[in-house]
Structure 1
Amino acid sequence: MSTAAEVSATFQQHFGYAAPLLVRAPGRVNLIGEHTDYNQGFVLPAAIDKEIYFAIGLTQGTDIRLVSHDLHDSCTIATGQVHRTETQWANYLLGVVAQLQKRGVEVPGFDCVFGGNVPVGAGMSSSAAVECGLAFALNELLSLSLDKMTLAHAAQKAEHEYAGVMCGLMDQFASLFGRPGSVVRLDCRSLDFEYYPFNTEACRLVLCNSGVKHSLADSEYNKRRQECERGVEILRRHYPKVQSLRDATMTQLETHRDELGPLTFRRCSYVVQENQRVITACQHLEQQDLAAFGQQMYASHAGLRDDYEVSCEELDVLVEAARTVPGVYGSRMMGGGFGGCTINLVSPDQVENFIRQVGAVYQQRFGRDLETYQTSIVGGVSEVASNG
């Protein structure tokens, strides 16, 4: 877990000159709307104060020299030979360079040290923060004048092509477009977005880490995507206007339940219902009805567990334990699934009690301590003052 100052100091030790640019890129939480982004649906993320820091300087040479502060590892590659490497962490960064090169940008040699405090594998999108931080930094250093949405797309494609994860746009969008004290609803089809105030004085975001590590590239993530596409293919035969599950209705799914088969039906019905939950949840936020908002979160978890089947025993235990604690508005698994964190909306005066009670249940059930994080909502990727 490193700070901006430590990353900057490592840069100077490693490369022997002061870093010209310091950047912070936040991880994200998603309050509701899981696995909807690649189905052109709605999501409701926020950038949080778990961040990746970068120290970056352009050089006169033709080498890209990357250093992972947290992993004590480095990787060097020529700008003219950017490709996927055996060094997995470096691929997230090299993928961004490759995307800029595809756009005709001549990327010169540069030095980069990065590190931070986004827990890896906990569903807070450390990979998107890494991609977006570098994309933002190179945009600044090379005066490219690319807008934030363009940077988000470049970072997303980097993950597709260099990390092998066919992610939607939400993680990169949230890291770049975050706004303090607000969550943002993104329409993943039109890319229209709208901010909703989220009062963290009335309600705290507490993440509980199941301790189960998930590797999305190796997991069922890409398979779920294919299952949804299969459902769309079947529905389109009957309803030509259904271009994605965003267009489908529960009535249509029920009508063709037999043709879809039980598995595809469950996957598709989860996505259709989750999209509606995001819309309903935003109405509850506007009415400042946290209890009603929390009920949508519980329903989201049930769908992820039973219909989309991306939960695991540890996540289910955490959500059930949260239900029994006073002052908890809602709880659900967050992220791709198969591990990572639950996100919990907790009344400020009950946070300590929540952590104690849920931790005790987890310890008793699995024999290990529960790691928790209290997070606040912050702004998106930005430059850091060099004394930071």
Structure 2
Amino acid sequence: MLAHDIAAAFRQHFDSEPLLVRAPGRINLIGEHTDYNAGYVLPAAIDKEMYFAVALNQQNLIRLRAYDFDASFEVAADAVAPSETEWANYLLGVVAQLHKRGVQVPGFDCIFGGTVPAGAGLSSSAALECGMLFALDHLLHTQLEPMQIAKMGQTAEHEYAKVMCGLMDQFASVFGRDGKVVRLDCRSLEYEYFPFDTTACRIVLCNSGVKHSLASSEYNTRRQECEQGVAILRQHYPQIETLRDVTLAQLATHRNELGDVVYRRCSYVVEENQRVEETCRVLMQGDLTAVGKQLYASHTGLSEKYEVSCKELDVLVRLAQNVPGVYGARMMGGGFGGCTINLVATEQVPAFVEYMKTKYQQELGLSLETYEATIVDGVGLFNQA
């Protein structure tokens, strides 16, 4: 098992006994690009995880090793700054957040690796940030609240990775609960758990194989377009603070003033918030067909109104609609690549995977990786038993 290999590698490399931490990636059932608009999201932590072996080293040196691609990075503990080494920045950003809180972070050693596929939109970066913070919190006895860990992870991503992400990814990695999706109100930070039974229905992720390299630049553009819409609407409705406060009727009234692009961006976000609420309602009734309808509608909005899909993702969703036992499918994550999330009746999963792999190869000449995901608890310690 990878976690055990990382622990063994740590003992061999650093000759000390590490603290062992796991931090999950996440799926988002529905509610995409709503988080930075103070809306609702509905994520869950999944069993694609990052594992950390960490120990203080009594030196003024931070020594990091990426197990999966056998790379190392060192920096003086009191000289942490953004580096040219992209993967190290996620971990250094976390140290910088502790410094900002007045925590003296001494030298430490860390080996990490995981089963979260990079670039698949399952938030390997948030798992890195939250796992590292959780480990340092334990070692330094800083007694951080779970929400503080999530928020500090988010700020680390803003300042060191330069991606202005919302809070959802880090929140899901910390607050995930076995067998539940969790609706987060990104304005009030209130949250509520809803049942998701993975016995009747499996979550299958289809990786388009397209790395979402456009995502960060386009992501920041989408944020600006939403902010532009809010600024225009606020001239007419001073009470509006974010798109969370906007109605479809208000958007329709000022459609010309908003312009076509900003109108479509804003209407997608308002509709997506409504879809999250409806999904929670039908989850309580156990109505997977109704949940699936919301997923398909979400994908249409992401593709046509928010324009963050790509040909490969659109093909995967269209193919899924032809398969018996599929309740719903949509692209997931920032967009321009990554995975689709598919809700598939358990007994139909093998046929679904085979069909999707064959058709994807036929239509686009691309091989398809799929992952079955189980919903698990958020970040925590693991032992080797």
Task: Give the TM-score, by structure 1 length.
Answer: 0.98
- Distance, in Å, in 2 between the alignment partners of 1:93 and 1:193 is 27
Q: Secondary structure in 1 aligned to 2:151? A: helix
Distance between the aligned counterparts of 2:6 and 2:85, measured in 1?
A: 20
Counterpart AA for 1:13:
Q
Q: Distance in 2 between matches of 1:60 and 1:216?
A: 42
Equivalents in 2 of 1:68, 1:138: separation in Å?
A: 17
Partner of 2:122: 124
- Partner in structure 2 of residue 173 of structure 1: 171
Q: Which runs of 4+ in 1 moved over 6 A?
A: none
- How many residues end up aligned between the 2 structures? 385
Equivalent position of 1:249 in the other structure:
247
Q: Hey, what does 2:233 align to over in structure 1?
A: 235
* Superposed counterparts of 1:322-341, under 5 Å: 322-341=320-339
Secondary structure (helix, strand or coil) at the match of 1:32 reads: coil
Identity of counterpart residues, as a percentage? 65
Shift of 1:79: 1.5
SS at match of 1:5: helix
CA distance in 2 between partners of 1:79 and 1:239 (Å): 50
Q: Could you tell me the TM-score, scaled by structure 2's length? A: 0.99
2:93 counterpart letter in structure 1 = G
Matches within 5 A, 1:269-348: 269-348=267-346
Mind listing any 5+ residue stretches in structure 1 that lack a counterpart? none
Give yes or no for the alignment of 1:111 onto 2:109: yes
Q: CA 1:217–1:370 in structure 2 vs 1: closer, same or farther (change >3 Å)?
A: closer
- Which residue number in structure 2 is paired with residue 7 of structure 1? 6
Q: In the alignment, residue 8 of structure 2 is paired with which amino acid?
A: A
C-alpha displacement of 1:368: 2.2
CA distance in 1, matches of 2:356, 2:30: 21
Q: Which residue of 1 aligns with 2:263?
A: 265
Point out where structure 2 has 5 or more consecutive residues left out of the alignment. Answer: none
Moved more, 6-15 or 254-263: 6-15
Q: Structure 2: how far apart are the matches of 1:215 and 1:6?
A: 31
In the TM superposition, 1:1-388 aligns within 5 A as 3-19=2-18, 21-215=19-213, 218-385=216-383, 387-388=384-385
**Paired residue secondary structure (1:320):** helix
String of CA shifts for 1:287-333, please: whole Å, max 9, x gaps: 11000010000000000000000000000000000001010000000
Question: 1:215: how far off?
Answer: 3.0
Residues 380, 218 of structure 1: alpha-carbon distance in 2 compared, 3 angstrom cutoff: closer
Q: Distance in 1 between matches of 2:103 and 2:82?
A: 19
Distance 1:373 1:191 in 2: 30
Deviates more, 1:249-258 or 1:216-225: 216-225
Structure 2 residue matching 1:238: 3-state secondary structure: coil
Q: Contact 1:165/1:216 (CA < 8 Å) preserved in 2?
A: no
Question: Could you say what secondary structure the match of 2:11 adopts?
Answer: helix
Counterpart residue identity of residue 3, structure 2: A
CA distance in 1, matches of 2:356, 2:11: 43
Q: Secondary structure at the match of 2:264?
A: helix
Contact 2:215–2:334, Cα closer than 8 Å, also in 1: no
RMSD over aligned Cα, in angstroms? 0.9
